[in-house]
Amino acid sequence: MSDRRFNPAAADARWQAVWDDRQSFKAGVREGAPKSYVLEMFPYPSGRIHIGHVRNYSMGDVLARFRRMQGHDVLHPMGWDAFGMPAENAAMEKKVHPGEWTRANIAAMKAQLKRLGFALDWSRELATCEPDYYGQEQALFLDLYEAGLVYRKESAVNWDPVDMTVLANEQVIDGRGWRSGALVEKRKLSQWFLKITDFADDLLAGLGELDKWPDKVRLMQENWIGKSVGMQFHFALDKPVDGISTLEVFSTRPDTLFGASFAAIAADHPIALALAQNDADLAAFAEECRRTGTAAAEVETQEKKGYDTGLSVIHPLDPDWKLPLYVANFVLMDYGTGAVFGCPAHDQRDLDFARRYALPVQRVVAPQGDETAPIHDEAYVGPGKLVNSRFLDGMGVEEAKAEVIARAEAGKWGKGTTVWRLRDWGVSRQRYWGTPIPFIHCAACGVVPVPKDQLPVVLPEDVSFEIPGNPLDRHATWKHVDCPKCGKAAVRETDTLDTFVDSSWYFIRFASQPSDQPFDRAEAESWMPVGQYIGGIEHAILHLLYARFWTRALQHIQKIGVAEPFESLFTQGMVTHETYQAPDGRWLAPEEVRVEGGKVTMLATGEAAQVGRVVKMSKSKKNVVDPDEIIERYGADAVRWFMLSDSPPERDLPWTEAGIEGAWRFVNRLYRMFGQIGESGDGSEDKALKRKLHQTIAGVAKDIEALAFNKAVAKIYELANAIEKAAPSATKAEAIRAMALLVAPMTPHLSEEAWAEMGGEGLVADAMWPSVDPALLVDDEVTIAVQVQGKLRDTLIVPKGTDKATLESLALAAPGVVRTLDGATPKKIIVVPDRLVNLVV
C-alpha cells in the first residue's frame, strides 16, 4: 500500500469553503422531500468550545448528514444561549460590557465550530441576547399574560446579598449562593410567575407518550412534577397560637395514622412565626433552617433537626392521644401545607428524627408472618397488612387509606386530595443581562403591559457595574417612561427573565424566523416536533420540563398545534480525562506532564506527578484538552472519528492520546485505500466482498439511525479489512467508492477529497446513501462446527441448507477429524443443520 498521507489542513479549509459558498446545508430547499429536524442543545457562549461540545455536535452532525444522504430536507441549526450571570460577572471582573464580552465569545466559538465542518444551516443562527430574538419572546410573554398564564405576586425568595439577585433552590448550596458563596437570605419580593402548575397533569401524562426518551429522564421529570395522592386533614392544637387552633396536614399515607409519634412544621409556618416572636431560641433555629438550601436532594441528605415548640396536637382518631409539635428543618413551607405528621416505622426521614429525639416507633404495616418484628435502623416501606391500628387491623394498605379518608370526610376533619411537588415557575431575576420583562408600573393604573407596537423593550447599553445589584434599577433614563394607559410618569419593570425562558422556545424560532412575529405557525409546524434532540443529562429536568410547558402553553393559546417539542431525546455521555497533581497538590494540565512507560513526570522539573481519577474534563482540575490544538495536529475528521468510535455514545468517553492517534491512523488508512481505486478493478466480481459491502451499507445505516455510532464504526473497520484483503476486481473498486460515501457523515472532508479524486459527480454532501440489494443481506453460506466427543476439531463452509448426508461425509473427510479419529469409526453422528456436526466415538 502507498505511503500517501491525508493533508487535513488543506482539505478541511477547502471543503468548508465550498460548502459555505454553495450553502450546502440550507434547510427548506428540497421541495417535496421528507423533513428531518436534528438539534443539539445550543451552547452558552463562554468563549471556547470544549471536547464535550465536539462530541455532542459530532453525533448530531452524523445523523444530519446521513438524513440528507437519504434524501431528507434537513434542518440542523445553531445558535447561542447568550444571556446570564457569567457575562455580568465578566463585566465586573474585566471591565467590559456584557454584550461586548458575549458577542466576542460567539465569534470565537463560531469559528471553532466551523473548523469541525459541521453541516449547520448558519442562515438561521440566533443569539438570545439580540433584540430580534428577545423582542419576540416579550411578545409571547404578553400573549401568555393575556391568557392568564402569567401573574405577579409577593413571594419568599432566596436572596444573594453579594450578587444582589434571587437564586433558585438548586443554586443554594449549604445555605450559600452557588457563585458568590455568600450566606443566602430569605426575602419577600414581588415576582413574576408562569402558571406551569396548570399543566402539571398534562405534563405528567405526556411522559407516557415519549417512548423515544431515556427512561431515566422520564422518571426524573415524573419525580420533579411529583403527583401525590393522599389526604389533607387537620389536627386540633391543644391550645391556640395567635388565633390559630388547627394544624392542616397533607399525607400520602393516611393508613399509618396509628403509627404517628409527632407532628412537624416548617420554619416559616404561621404557627412557627408566631411562636418565634416570644422565643429567641426558636427564632435562631428558624433562621438556621432558612440558611439551608431547599433543593429536594439537599433536604433529603441533611441532618434532621427539630425544635420542640412545647405544643401538642390532638390525634383525629383518638381525642385522648396527643402528639408533640416540632419545627423541623426537613419540612418545606412550599410543599403541601408546610406541616406533616411523622410515622417513624414507615418513613426513613421520620425514623431518623424519632431516634434523635427519643420518640416512639410503632409498626403499623407488616408483611405476612412479621407482625411483631420491631423496627431497628431501617423503616419498613413495603407492602403488607395493617397491625396495631385498631379498626384498620388486617386491611391492606390501599383499603386502609380509603377507610381513613372515608371517616375523615364523614367527620369533616379531612378529605382525599392530590398535591403536586411542582410549583409555579418564578421567572423574575434582578440582573441586567437578560430579557426585560415588558411591563410598566404606574401609580394610577397599576401594572400595565407594554403595547406590542413598542416592542422590543431593548436593554440600554450605557450601564455600570461598579455598584453591586441590577443597573437597570438605577438607570437615569431607561427606567422612566410614560404610562401607556394614562400618559403619566411611570417606571419600567427592572427585573429580567430567567434564562430558562430563552431556551424554552428557541427550537421553534429556528424553524421559522419572520421579522414581524415570533414564528409562522404553519412553517413551524412543518418542522416540529424536533425529530432528534441531543444534549447532556444535566438538563433532564428544568430545561426539558420548561420547554415542554412552554410548547403546551403556546398550543393552549393556539399559537402552535404541537404539544411535545422533542420527539426523540438522546443524552450523551461526558468526555473524561485522567487528572494529574504536583507533589504540592497543584493540578497539572496534560501538556505539563510526560506520560511514558507507565510513569508520569512533570516536564518543568522532572519530578514524579501523581495520577488521579479519570473524571469529567473541567478547568478547575486542569484535565481539559483544547480542541483547536487537536484539530491543528490531526484535522477535524480524526477528532470526529475518535468522538464516535471508542465508546457507546450514551457512556462517558475517556480521552487518550492513543485513541486520537488511532483515529488519525485510520483516516490515513482510508485515504490510501481511496487512492488505490484505479488499481482495484479488473472486471471480475467478488461475491463474498459484494455481500459484505451490502451488509455493511445496511448495517451502518441502521446503526446511525439508532445513534449507535461505535457499532457503525466497527462495521466500517470490518469492511476496510475485507477490502484490503480482496484481490483486484470490479467489486473491490465498487466497495472503495461506496466506502467514501459510508464514512462521509463521520469524516466529511476526507470523503469530499477522495470523491473528487475518484471523479465522483457533484459533492458528497449532496450524494445519496448507497443502495442495497436485499438479496445480498442474507448469507447463502454458513460455517459448520465439526466436533469429536463435543470438542471442536474442524470447521466446514458449506451452502446454507446442506443436507445431513452431505454434512456427515464432509465432516468425516475434514483433516482435523481424520487426525483425531486415527482410523476409528464413530458410533454415532449428530447433525444440527446449518450449525454443527458432532461425532461420538
163 pLDDT tier (thresholds 50, 70, 90): confident
pLDDT value at 291 more than 90: no
Residue whose C-alpha is closest to residue 463's, from 494, 442, 490:
494
pLDDT value at 468 more than 90: no
CATH architecture for residues 779-840:
Roll (3.10)
Numbered ranges of CATH 3.10.20.590 in the chain: 779-840
170 pLDDT tier (thresholds 50, 70, 90): low
Distance CA 703, CA 533 (A): 17
CA distances from 793 to 787, 811, 824 (A): 5, 10, 15
Q: In degrees, to the nearest 5, what angle opens at C-alpha 502 toward C-alphas 499 and 505?
A: 145
The class (CATH top level) of 227-420 is: alpha beta
Q: Could you report the per-residue pLDDT of 611-665, keeping only the tens digit for each? A: 888 888 877 788 888 889 999 999 999 999 999 987 888 888 888 888 999 999 9
SS3 24: coil
More confident residue, 85 or 668: 668
Asked whether 837 and 784 are in contact (CB, 8 A), the reply is yes
Predicted pLDDT at 453: 96
Residue whose C-alpha is closest to residue 676's, from 11, 3, 8, 15:
3
pLDDT value at 409 more than 90: yes
pLDDT value at 735 more than 90: yes
Most confident region among 82-96, 320-334, 653-667, 695-709 by mean pLDDT: 695-709
pLDDT value at 354 more than 70: yes
CA atoms within 13 A on the CB side of 365: 23
How many CB atoms neighbour CB 369 within 10 A?
7
How many CB atoms neighbour CB 603 within 10 A?
12
The continuous run of DSSP H or E covering 541 comes out as none
SS3 754: helix
Predicted pLDDT at 310: 96
Q: Could you report the per-residue pLDDT of 135-158, keeping only the tens digit for each? A: 999 999 999 999 999 999 988 788
CA distances from 62 to 68, 154, 233 (A): 10, 49, 57
741 Cα distance to chain centroid: 31
pLDDT value at 757 more than 50: yes
Predicted pLDDT at 2: 64
Distance CA 525, CA 512 (A): 9
Distance CA 518, CA 520 (A): 7
Predicted pLDDT at 482: 97
Predicted pLDDT at 243: 93
Predicted pLDDT at 299: 54
pLDDT value at 273 more than 70: yes
Matching residue, cell 406551569:
196
Predicted pLDDT at 681: 66
C-alpha cell at 757: 479524486
Average pLDDT over residues 90-107: 92
Predicted pLDDT at 297: 47
Q: Could you report the per-residue pLDDT of 194-216, keeping only the tens digit for each? A: 999 999 999 999 999 999 999 99
Predicted pLDDT at 300: 57
Predicted pLDDT at 121: 98
Predicted pLDDT at 168: 67
More confident residue, 366 or 541: 366
Q: State pTM to two decimals.
A: 0.84
Numbered ranges of CATH 3.90.740.10 in the chain: 227-420
Distance CA 208, CA 210 (A): 6
pLDDT value at 598 more than 80: no
Average pLDDT score, the chain:
92
pLDDT value at 19 more than 70: yes
